Chain A
Amino acid sequence: MSSDEGEEERVPLRARPEWSDVTPVPQDDGPDPVVPIKYTEEFAEVMSYFRAIYLSDERSPRALTLTAEAIHFNAGNYTVWHFRRLLLESLKVDLHTELDFVERMAIANSKNYQIWHHRRWVAEKLGPKARNDELDFTKKILSIDAKHYHAWSHRQWVLQALGGWEDELSYCSELLEADVFNNSAWNQRYFVVTRSPFLGGLEATRESEVLYTVQAIIACPENESSWRYLRGLYKGDTTSWVNDPQVSAVCLKILNSKSNYLFALSTLLDLLCSGFQPNQEFRDAVEALKTSDLDKEDQDIARDICSILEHVDPIRANYWIWRKSLLPQTA
């Protein structure tokens, strides 16, 4: 079905007897088009035959084969994909074979909206029985590119529409074990803890997730992903975030190490802006990061943090100056 192997000598459509009854429709670009593409002869021919069957709305097996050829030349042609879906429905094609076709296309042009939209459509038609195929397929793509945006979106759709949540958290852990900087894996982890029907949501998972994240932060304090995730675990519950000693403690620990403390400082600043009351330990830790050329007169810890950040994070100097300007003036 719909084989598109190009290895053998390609016979032009006009030389194929099964197409002899069709008059190709050339593209109507007008007399002086802009951005004209110098199509190859094969490309122009396939598209001309495609236009003919598209215009006559021919729902036939040969039309289906032709869409595969057209997609082979340009997987970004959403009109061809759309017509292919009409054909798959009209011809009642076994959609399992369609998954193989999409997979071959996806390996070659994975960064293409049409392929993934088509894959979702096929999987939706197949229903829960497609679940494992889809989870395996996305895993395969993610093993090549672990941050593949479309693959992650597809996987999230599969989980929500077809299920398969059981092993997802351990899959995230596996990916983070391999690369703790993989922000897509952190995002997926957040997706799982907030939406999995088995885990009970943010509040139920918070304790273990905070523990996991704090360890990841301590191992790599320069990793922005884990810091943002930690903050995310308290989304909608600022009070718990401000009052949980684990959050302030990890900031303090990193500050005291005096290296890779950018996110610890910015987190502490956010905590202070949300009402966190620092004790002397925090003041001392921040004080110890001030360099001699920083102005000494500031009595306020939040202002000190902004000054340090302005100095150690010059690319965001304007941001830190602005943050400082929003702090209440100390008397």
Chain B
Amino acid sequence: MDPSSCSPITPTVTQRDQWMVESQVFEIYQLFSSIPQSAQSLMLELQRDNHISYLTKSLSYLPPSFSVLDANRPWLCYWIIHSIALLGESLHYHIQHNAIHFLNRCQDPNGGYAGGPGQMPHLATTYAAVNALITLGGQKAFASINRDKLYGFLRRMKQPNGGFRMHDEGEIDVRACYTAISVASVLNILDDELIQNVGDYILSCQTYEGGIAGEPGAEAHGGYTFCGLAAMVLIGEVNRLDLPRLVDWVVFRQGKECGFQGRTNKLVDGCYSFWQGGAVALLQRLYSVVEEQMAEASQVSSKPDVSEEQKSPYGTSGDATCHFTHGGTDKPGLADFKNSGYNFINEWRERDPLFHSIALQQYILLCSQEQEGGLRDKPGKRRDHYHTCYCLSGLSLCQYSWSKNPDSPPLPKVVLGPYSNLLEPIHPLYNIVLERYHEAHEFFFVES
């Protein structure tokens, strides 16, 4: 067969959709490159005031069309409050107070947070509520979380196969694992019982492509890949994943549109700036583990893939004993999972990011940003709070992706657009603004 003659004559659905998006995106980039530099920097400017006004308005009023999100109100709180924190803005005292009280009404007497007052507790809204409360900050917010009851809720959701249910009788997937482990970790209630078999479950969701799926057998997907990878880091079993294949899959999700797609041959979408960009940011701090796996693979090509290895409770099978630990030293055996979230950010990044940070910032600012405020999936789509949150989170990751040290501000050349675009840095495992995370860490780890 002659390859040149075999390409489909009529484009397939995938090709047609892809070309349509490409032409819209490239039109924007073409316009951008054709205008003078002063106009360019205007186009690249983060519309802070408009974003803040879009976000704060929504905190006090949402139109009837939001009824479809009536079971996601802690998510709305988190998306909005986290976005405002990323923008470096603080909320009025009375709004903070109202938010704490409202989230407390979503807290179930038996632990966990529901999608709204009077609903059943749910793991995803529990994650959103806890992250929102930590972002609000202060003793009152922290103390409002009933950690003992929350622990009971997490144990109730725990399944023998290692996964978690989203709610009583609810679905089991990798999102549930991440949200459960993330809240347990950040609130310092993570223990052996919660961790038991979680690594096995997540490992069974890594696909032949390299990314992680929602359930065993399903397709590798950006959202689940972030969730699975972050959960594995938090429980100290990240070395059990096939990291070279994971890196390869995730870096290939950034396309010529400059943004990330969620799955192979799917369309670019701004929210994957965080899910995929976040996975790369996590991998950036795991180079030593990744490189060790790569060295093993090149030495013994007959050795079975890491994911096929015999499963042991803490993932120290074979020679893959490089648990991620503080100080980067390899320590066989049980990782110090209680402090894995804290230790992770104190580890210096050893190398440059593996994705194209400037290109991604370009997609976020030129294609995802609405000048009137709010961010979106792609040109032609409408802004929403979810995309605003995850586009901004991804933008923050990009801006700090070259920082060698958590305390040093990035150089102007790595921040696309005016330096005033600079957002607050986040903790990449929890997606909480770093400073707020530290305050909570002080409260839940040092004082208790």
Contact = CB atoms under 8 A, between A and B. Distances in A.
A35 B73 contact: yes
B356 A326 contact: no
B68 A35 contact: no
Interface in B50-84: 58-64, 66-73, 76-77, 80
B305 A238 contact: yes
B264 A274 contact: no
Contacts of A152: 218-219
Contacts, number: 248
Interface stretch (A13-21, A22-30, A57-65, A282-290): A22-30
B265 A183 contact: yes
Count class of interface residues, chain A: 35 or more
A236 B305 contact: yes
Contacts of B265: 181-183, 223-225
A246 interface: no
A235 B14 contact: no
Interface stretch (B41-49, B248-256, B419-427): B248-256
B67 A315 contact: no
A73 B64 CA distance: 11
Contacts of A122: none
Given A27-B117, A37-B66, A153-B218, A180 B71 contact: no
A146 B352 CA distance: 37
A78 B115 contact: yes
B101 A32 contact: yes
Interface string A94-134: 00000000000000010001001100110000000000000
Contacts of A190: 207-208
Nearest to A270: B248
Contacts of B30: none
Given A32-B101, A183-B264, A79 B114 contact: yes
B99 interface: yes
B117 A218 contact: no
B4 interface: yes
Contacts of A311: none
A215 B1 contact: yes
B256 A315 contact: yes
B255 A33 contact: no
Contacts of A38: 61-64, 66
Interface of B: 1, 3-4, 6-8, 12-15, 58-64, 66-73, 76-77, 80, 94-95, 98-99, 101-102, 105, 114-120, 122, 166-171, 207-210, 214-215, 217-221, 247-249, 251-252, 254-256, 258, 263-266, 291, 294-295, 297-298, 301-305, 307-308, 351-356, 359
Q: Please name the 10 residue pairs, one residue from A and one from B, whose CB atoms are nearest each other, closest first.
A: A232-B208, A181-B14, A179-B12, A219-B6, A236-B308, A183-B264, A187-B219, A275-B301, A35-B76, A79-B119
